[in-house]
Amino acid sequence: MPHKKCDKNIARTIDMANEMIDLARQGYDNHEDPGCGVLYGILLDSGYRILDLALKEKQAHIQKGWWHDTVAEPKTGQAKKDIADK
């Protein structure tokens, strides 16, 4: 069975969400004014929300038998571990 494009997109979304979370943490650590703090807070929250939805969708695809071992696994990051601990 060929790869499903939707599975590849989910994997890419997980990677993107992890990058958003990493950037938000770095940006928040380096911010110098309240506006930047707000920006990175929103980026962090959005990254976690997207990651949570994408991981749930990945699980749904696994249960349907759509997700194959040949789909590149998303990069793991602290954000993925944080979601798994919930």
Structural domain count, the chain: 1
- Report the distance separating Cα 27 and Cα 14, nearest Å: 20
Q: CA-to-CA distance for 18 and 48, rounded, in angstroms?
A: 8
Q: What domain range is 57 assigned to?
A: 5-84
Which of the four pLDDT bands, split at 50, 70 and 90, describes residue 2?
very low
Q: Per residue in 46-81, pLDDT tens?
A: 999 999 999 999 999 999 888 876 556 666 666 656
- Return the closest-CA partner of residue 77 out of 13, 7, 31, 14: 14
pLDDT of residue 52: 98
pLDDT band at residue 5, thresholds of 50, 70 and 90? confident
- What was the pLDDT predicted at 1? 35
Per-residue pLDDT, averaged over 8-20, amounts to: 95
Nearest to 77 by CA among 47, 35, 43: 47
